[in-house]
Chains A and B, each alone.
Chain A
């Protein structure tokens, strides 16, 4: 039998720090929406970016999101963590730079080489929106 148990806080933080890719869930008017997404976690907040579109509309209507990250070695060995929190747009230039740097470090092929001036121009030109999620709860399960 496959035994599943709750993960400790330390195990969940470690998984979120190791990961670079997860699934974002949003909901609006009782309708769910799920998309794959790169992210970065700094032990306190989770960051992701997207372009203006369906996701920003959903998040605009309901800021509460669920971000799910998993590691599956095989069907009998896996870990899965869910982060619940409010997604807030990162607006301040310094915060934006820090968040984009963090995401770029974790996902080196994803973003062009960024410096301070480029980040501002690039995010404006590409209609990029950066979100920060400060978790109000985190849950995780793993196989024993």
Chain B
């Protein structure tokens, strides 16, 4: 039996997880990539090297983050957060968010994240997704 999650439950799942799929629209068509993120209750923060998803989000800031917790096919939760992409350009904000992300993800996961210790890597883009709407469903 699939049930709708409450807003609080959905928010709690988004807070508890660190891996999401970011959905954005690239030239009119969907684009999905796994990203590491952290959610503070209002905004999800993440970072990336320049590339197709950043180009896509700069052109169209409507994005979604999908997060799930799957134990098996009958016990799972899935949350979809819709929001707006905002690049952090203020140096203080950028540094604060990047430090937070690097403290949580020292080895970095499914993003093109060569960033850490590589002096020659391009400067990472740090962004937030201002979450405007959350929906969640669960089973079991």
Residues of A within 8 A of B (CB): 1-4, 21, 23-27, 30-36, 38, 62, 64-68, 70, 72, 75-76, 78, 80, 82, 84, 107, 109-110, 141
Expressed in whole angstroms, the minimum distance between the Cβ of A129 and any Cβ of chain B is 17
**A78:B29 contact, CB within 8 angstroms:** no
Residues of B within 8 A of A (CB): 19, 21, 23-25, 28-34, 60, 62-64, 66, 68, 70, 72-74, 76, 78, 80, 82, 105, 107-110, 112-114, 116-118
Q: How many A-B residue pairs have CB under 8 A?
A: 108
Chain A residues near B19 (CB-CB < 8 A) = 72
Chain B residues near A75 (CB-CB < 8 A) = 105, 107-109
- Interface-central residue, A24, A25, A110, by most chain B CB under 10 Å: A25
List 13 other contacts, CB 8 Å, given A36-B70, A70-B34: A1-B116, A3-B114, A4-B113, A25-B23, A27-B29, A62-B29, A64-B29, A64-B30, A66-B30, A66-B31, A70-B110, A80-B33, A141-B112
**B28:A66 contact, CB within 8 angstroms:** no
Whether A32 touches B33, Cβ cut-off 8 Å, given contacts A3-B114, A4-B114, A75-B108, is no
The residue on B at minimum CB distance from A139 is B52
Q: Could you tell me the distance between the alpha carbons of A94 and B138 in the complex, rounded to whole angstroms?
A: 33
**A23:B31 contact, CB within 8 angstroms:** no
Whether A31 touches B25, Cβ cut-off 8 Å, given contacts A1-B118, A36-B70, is yes
Expressed in whole angstroms, the minimum distance between the Cβ of A126 and any Cβ of chain B is 13
Q: Could you tell me the distance between the alpha carbons of A65 and B31 in the complex, rounded to whole angstroms?
A: 8
Q: Could you tell me the distance between the alpha carbons of A141 and B28 in the complex, rounded to whole angstroms?
A: 23
Q: Could you tell me the distance between the alpha carbons of A75 and B106 in the complex, rounded to whole angstroms?
A: 9
Q: Could you tell me the distance between the alpha carbons of A33 and B19 in the complex, rounded to whole angstroms?
A: 17
- Interface-central residue, B25, B32, B107, by most chain A CB under 10 Å: B32
Chain A residues near B108 (CB-CB < 8 A) = 2, 75
Expressed in whole angstroms, the minimum distance between the Cβ of A114 and any Cβ of chain B is 16
